[in-house]
Structure 1
Amino acid sequence: MITKEYPISVPVSFLEKTGISPETCLFFDIETTGLSWRRSHLYLLGAVFYTPEGWLQKQWFCQRPGEEKDLLEIFSSLLEQKKTLIHFNGNTFDIPYLMHKSTFYQMELNWDGATSLDLYQKLLPFKKLLGLEHMRQKDLERYLGRSREDLFSGGELISLYQEYLKTADERLLSVLLLHNREDVSEMTGLLPLLELSRLFSGSWEGTVEAQVTPDLQLLLKPAVSLSLPLDFTYDASCCQLSAHQGKLTLDIPILQDTLKYFFPDYKNYFYLPLEDRAIHKSVGAYVDKEHREKAKASTCYQKQTGQFLPQFSEEISPSFRWEYRDSCSWFLWDDKMAQDSSWCVRYFNHLLSHIFP
C-alpha cells in the first residue's frame, strides 16, 4: 500500500458557523473500480482531518486488490476518532459502499455517534438560485472560481487503475492520486457555500432593515453579509431575492386590493348572494329567507380593502385570501411594521423558509 500525506489549509470559520467542531471532522472520498460493491473493489481512500500539528490530507492507495480489507481497517480507525463525516454525495455512494464491504469482510465499522454532512444534498436546494444546470462537485468549484489540475472523472480512472495494476507506472499513479486529492481538498473549498444553508434555515443572527419604496415595494435588507462574492437575482412566487457582493435584498410587492377573510365556523353563518358576504346566523335570522343561504366554507367571508403582504402560514392574523383554497394568504400591511426590527427578522426568515423549505 502507498501512503501520501500533505499539509492543507481549511476555512474552519464556515464549519464553526454551522455548529461543527473542526476537531471532529473527517472529509473523505473513495475511489472504486465500479459502482456495484459486489463487482468492484475499493482502491483509494483520501481524507482530510485535524491533528495536533494542524490540518492534514492523507491518501491510502492499494497496489493490488488484495489490500482492500486493509483500506477498510484504516477507515475504521479514522471513524473511531472522527465522528463528523463530510463528503460529496457520500450518503448515496461512499457510505453504503463502505458498509457493504465491511459486512462482506465481517468487519464492524463503528458508526455510533457519527453524523454525516453531505455537501451535495446540503447544497442541492440552491441549484436554481445559483443558476447551475448540474450540481456536480466540479460545477460548484467552477462557480466559485476554483480550478483543478485533474482532468478526469472517477469513472474514467477505472481503466487507468487497471493499467497501473499491470505496469506500476508512476505516471498513472500520479494521475490517480491527483484526482482523489483534489476531490477531497476541494470539498473544503466548498464550505463557504454553507453560508446559504445557514441563511435560509434562519440560523443567522442580526437585524433586518425595512424600506418602503414609492411604488409600494417592501425592501428587507438583513444586516448580514454572506462571505461569498455572490451576485444573483432569484424570482419566487411572491418576492424577489437578490444579492450583490454578498449583500442581500428581499423585494416584496405590497398588494393593494380587496381580499376575503374566511370565517372558520361557517356552519354558524348565512351567505348573502346579493351582498356577496357572510353574516352570523344571529343577525342573518332577520334577513328574508330568499336573500340568504347556508354558508359554505368557500362562501363564508367578509371582504377587506387595503394593502397586503403575503404569508405561507398563519404567521399574522387575520389572514386574507382571494379564494378559500389559496395556499398563499395575506395580512394587512401597517407602516409601523417596518419600524419593528424583531418583526422584520421574523418575516424575512418566514419568506426565505418558503423559498427554500
Structure 2
Amino acid sequence: MKKSEETLEDFAISYPLDKLAPLEQVLFLDIETTGFTSRTSYLYMIGCAYNRAGKWHTIQWMAEDYAQEGAILTAFFDFARSYKYLVHFNGNNFDLPFISQKCAQLMLPFSFEGFQGIDIYRRISPYKFFLKLPNCKQKTLEQYLGIARTDVFSGGELIGLYHDYVKNPSEFTEKALFLHNADDLKGMLEVLPILAYYDLFNENCVKAKKVQANYYKDMHGAQRKELLITLQIPTPLPKPITASAGNCYFRGEGESATLKVPIYEEELKYFYSNYKDYYYLPTEDVALHKSVAGFVDKEHRLQASAANCYTRKFSCYLPQWDILFTPFFKRDYKSKELFFELTDEMKKNREGFSRYANHVLSMIAATY
C-alpha cells in the first residue's frame, strides 16, 4: 500500500464551511475504482481532505495491487474514526455504497454508522437549470467557477492506467494516479462556494433591507406597478445570476440581490369557507351572513354556494403561491392564483417582507 500526504500551502476556500459542520470534525472523501460495480471492480484509492491548525491537508491510500483493497479500507477507517461529518460529491450514490459493499465482500467490520453525510451534488443538482448548467458533474461546476485543474486524465482513462501500474509499476503512473484523486479533493473544496445557491433557497434567511414601489411602462405603453425589494442574502454568491418566474424577477450578486414582484391593483374576491351560513345577493353580487341577510327579502337572496360566497374588494395585491398571508384573495373560485392585500400595515412589516422574499425565491427555484 502506498500513502501520500500533502499540506496545501496558501490554500483557502471562500465558503463558510462552519455552515455545514464544525471544521475540525469535517472529512472530505473521494475514491477511485476500476468500475461502477463493487462486485466486478476494484477499489484502488481512497483520498481525504481535512483541516488542521488552520491549514488544509490531503491524505491518500493507494492499493499497489488488487489484493490490497482491505489494507486501504482499514487505513481509511482508522483515520476517519476521529471525524463525524463526511463531505463528498455524489457519494450517496457511489462512494459510500461502493465502500460499504467492499467491506461486506472482504468481511471487514467497518461501516458509516455514526457519520453524518453531506453530499455536495445532491444539494446543488436541483438548481441545474437555475444555474443554466448542462449537468452538475464536479468538473462542470469547476469550469463554471473558473477553477483550473493540473490533472489531464479522466476517471475512465485512469482505469487502464491503474491496470498497467499493477502489472508494471512506474513513478510516472503512480504520480498520475495520485494527482487525479488529489485534484478531485481540491476541486471539491474549491467548488464549495456553489452551495451559496443552495443556501439562497433553503436557509429561509434572506433579509429585506429596503422595500419600495416602482412604476414603469410595459411594452404596450401602459403604466404598471411593481414591488422592488433589496435583499441581503445568507452566503455571498460566487457569480452573478438572474432568474424569473411567475412575473417575478431576481438578480443576485455577491451579498446583495434585488427582487421585483408585480403589484396588482384591481378588484379581487375573498371567499368565505362556511358558505352554508351565508346568503348570496345576486343584485349586489355579494354574500352576507344569514344573521344579517335574514332581513333581506327572500326574492333577492339565494342560499350561498362555495363559488359565490364572497365579498369583493378593490385594492393593491401581491401574488403568493401558497397561503403565506391571510386573508387570501382570488379572481374567481376556481382560480389557482392566490393574492394577499398590500395593506398599510404590511408596508411597514420588514420581517413580513423577508418572509415573502423567501417565499418568492422558493417559487422561482421550483419553476426551474
TM-score calculated relative to the size of structure 1: 0.90
Q: Contact 1:80/1:110 (CA < 8 Å) preserved in 2?
A: no
For 1:323, the equivalent position in structure 2 comes to 332
For 2:356, the equivalent position in structure 1 comes to 347
Match for 2:17 among 8, 15, 18? 15
For 1:211, the equivalent position in structure 2 comes to 212
SS of the residue corresponding to residue 75 of structure 2 reads helix
Tell whether 2:106 aligns with 1:105. Answer: yes
Q: 1:173 to 1:247 in 2, by over 3 A?
A: same
State which drifts further: 289-298 or 178-187. 289-298
Deviations 1:272-314 (A, max 9, x none): 4454432323344455656544333233222221110122333
Paired AA for residue 267 in structure 1? K
Paired AA for residue 116 in structure 1? G
Paired AA for residue 197 in structure 1? Y
Q: 1:321 to 1:205 in 2, by over 3 A?
A: closer
**How many Å separate the matches in 2 of 1:22 and 1:85?**
11
State which drifts further: 64-73 or 269-278. 269-278
Identical counterparts, % of pairs: 36
Deviation at 1:240, TM superposition (A): 1.1
**How many Å separate the matches in 1 of 2:110 and 2:273?**
55
Paired AA for residue 351 in structure 2? S
Deviation at 1:184, TM superposition (A): 1.0
Tell whether 2:49 aligns with 1:40. Answer: no
Deviations 1:170-207 (A, max 9, x none): 32333222221111111111111222222322354755
Q: Contact 1:231/1:244 (CA < 8 Å) preserved in 2?
A: yes
Q: Contact 1:225/1:248 (CA < 8 Å) preserved in 2?
A: no
Q: 1:240 to 1:53 in 2, by over 3 A?
A: closer
Deviation at 1:110, TM superposition (A): 4.5
Q: Contact 1:208/1:344 (CA < 8 Å) preserved in 2?
A: no
State which drifts further: 268-277 or 21-30. 268-277
Deviation at 1:163, TM superposition (A): 2.1
For 1:186, the equivalent position in structure 2 comes to 187
TM-score calculated relative to the size of structure 2: 0.88
Matches within 5 A, 1:181-330: 181-202=182-203, 204=205, 207-215=208-216, 216-224=225-233, 226-287=235-296, 292-330=301-339
**How many Å separate the matches in 2 of 1:5 and 1:326?**
63
Q: Contact 2:232/2:255 (CA < 8 Å) preserved in 1?
A: no
Deviation at 1:136, TM superposition (A): 0.8
Q: 1:279 to 1:171 in 2, by over 3 A?
A: same
For 1:6, the equivalent position in structure 2 comes to 6
Matches within 5 A, 1:17-96: 18-52=19-53, 54-96=55-97
Deviations 1:122-156 (A, max 9, x none): 11222222111211111111111111122333233
Alignment gaps of 5+ in structure 2: 217-224
- How many aligned positions are there? 356
**How many Å separate the matches in 2 of 1:319 and 1:203?**
22
Alignment gaps of 5+ in structure 1: none
Q: Contact 1:84/1:114 (CA < 8 Å) preserved in 2?
A: yes
**How many Å separate the matches in 2 of 1:353 and 1:302?**
30
State which drifts further: 304-313 or 35-44. 304-313
For 2:150, the equivalent position in structure 1 comes to 149
**How many Å separate the matches in 1 of 2:245 and 2:3?**
49
SS of the residue corresponding to residue 306 of structure 1 reads strand
**How many Å separate the matches in 1 of 2:255 and 2:14?**
19
Q: Which has the higher strand share?
A: 2
